[in-house]
Structure 1
Amino acid sequence: MFYDNHVIYKDFDGPVNNFSGAQKISDALMGKNVAILANHGTLTCGEDIETAVMYSVCLERALRLNVMARQLKSAINLVEANTALESREWIANPLGFKIEFDALARRVERGYPDISDFYPESLDI
């Protein structure tokens, strides 16, 4: 999902409060969906909010698993490029993200039954 779909952004220097700062990050993304910001965290984007959220959730999981794998002190075998690309195309698509987002939303609503009290009135939920 993240193979050839992320950038490492080393020029992050604090909150982006103006157009030029946002444009720098946008340019650095080069059409990719994920930026790892030096000394800060991550930024994800997508065609819609659901896609951006799912990239963020999946990135958090992937990074957590990466840290755990590195703690094993064993050799890490990376998958081949074509396998990574096929996996990305299979997983990171609008339908897949819609299914995953809806499942995540249902889980949140079960865990926090009063969350609908905080939905904006503009949402027809």
Structure 2
Amino acid sequence: MNEATNNIVMNIDSFDDVQLTPEGTEEIRKDRKIKLAAALRLFGKLGFDEGVAGHITVRDPELTDHFWVNPMGRSFKQMRVSDLLLVSHTGEVVEGDGLLNGAAFTIHSRIHMSNPAITAAAHSHSVYGKAFSSLGKKLAPLTQDSCAFYDDHVLFDDFSGVVLDNTEGERIAAAMDDSKGAILQNHGLLTVGETIDAAAWWYITMERTCQAQLMAEAAGTPKPIDHDVALQTRETVGSPLAGWFSFQPLFDVIVAEQPELLD
């Protein structure tokens, strides 16, 4: 590892004492809802929206068996904090106006129920993710960025139509285990995180990793990164802190460009 890389690693590791979220239940809830609305706006800006497909959720800090989610039929590009729905794990909309996406509930409720460490989850029908998902394989460690997912994502290879059955959501959640991402075969991508920031960033970079691998394989025969190097790289670019930190510039830009999302 060269001196420049050492400096990067030292800088990232020194964030151990950084407060990633505010203190106090109401402040944490506010922060999560703002980050959720911002993440949805970013997904819209990046072209991850298609019709009414796609959803991002974040667990409520007080009602931990509830999550906040975007209402079905509201464009990602127009999402505001006030649009978000608070939904229980039994499917009851307890706050907010709008329609609850059945697939969003089926997938996300089971993911949140299965692992208390998961704060947020993201899924959409982005072009490169769904194209790559049709290949029925996992991502290869072809680039530094792709190493974030090396031995840390799964292939769910049992497409059975639109996910509206709770047992299907349970099988997806079980397949995820402790991984940060999943390729849902013939469907698209799914990412999770300990923060809404990380979950959103993992989705964005996973979509781009799919794009990069599709391009590389179309051009020739890519040379993968060695196993040990890929694992070492994942420790730097694939940590929860790295996911949180990588989202911050995107968040700052979208809020500056589209401050109405805070309404």
* TM-score bracket for this pair, using the shorter chain length: 0.7 to 0.9
CA, structure 1 residues 95+82, in 2 after alignment: closer, same or farther (shift >3 Å)?
A: same
Deviates more, 1:76-85 or 1:94-103: 94-103
Number of residues of Structure 1 aligned to a counterpart in Structure 2: 116
Q: What residue in structure 2 maps to residue 123 of structure 1?
A: none
| 1:17 Cα deviation after fit | 3.4
One-letter amino acid of the structure 1 residue matched with residue 187 of structure 2: H
Distance 1:41 1:27 in 2: 17
Q: CA–CA distance in 2 between the matches of 1:45 and 1:97?
A: 11
Tell me, yes or no, if structure 1 residue 116 matches structure 2 residue 259: yes
Residues 153 and 183 in structure 2, CA contact (< 8 A), matched pair in contact too:
yes
Partner of 2:241: 95
Look up the equivalent residue of 1:89 and give its one-letter code: E
Q: Which residue of 1 aligns with 2:192?
A: 45
Q: Distance in 1 between matches of 2:210 and 2:254?
A: 22
Structure 1: which 5+ runs fail to align?
121-125
Asked if 1 retains the 8 angstrom alpha-carbon contact of 2:255 and 2:261, the reply is: no
Residues 25-44 of structure 1 aligned to structure 2 (within 5 Å)? 25-44=172-191
SS in 2 for 1:13: coil
Q: What TM-score, normalized by structure 2, do the two folds share?
A: 0.41
Deviation at 1:46, TM superposition (A): 1.2
Q: Does 1:67 align with 2:214?
A: yes
Structure 2 unmatched runs, 5+: 1-147
Give, in angstroms, the shift of residue 103 of structure 1: 0.8
Percent sequence identity over matched residues?
Answer: 30
**Whole-Å separation in 2 of the counterparts to 1:98 and 1:6:** 18
Q: CA deviation at 1:18?
A: 4.7
Partner of 2:228: 82
Aligned to 1:5: 152
Distance 2:154 2:173 in 1: 11
Tell me which moved more, 45-54 or 14-23: 14-23
Whichever residue aligns with residue 79 of structure 1, its letter is: I
Distance in 2 of aligned mates of 1:107 and 1:68: 28
Paired with 1:8 and 1:97, the residues of 2 have a C-alpha distance of 21
- Aligned residue in 1 for 2:253: 107
Paired with 1:7 and 1:23, the residues of 2 have a C-alpha distance of 15
Q: Secondary structure at the match of 2:149?
A: coil
1:15 is aligned to 2:135: no
TM-score calculated relative to the size of structure 1 = 0.82
Alpha-carbon distance, 1:89 to partner: 0.6
Cα pair 2:193 2:240 within 8 Å, conserved: no
- More contact order relative to length (CA 8 Å, sep ≥ 6): 1
SS where residue 45 of structure 1 aligns? strand
Retained in 1: the 8 A contact 2:195–2:244? Answer: no
1:14-38 superposed Cα distances (whole Å, 9 cap, x missing partner): 3333532221101011211111111
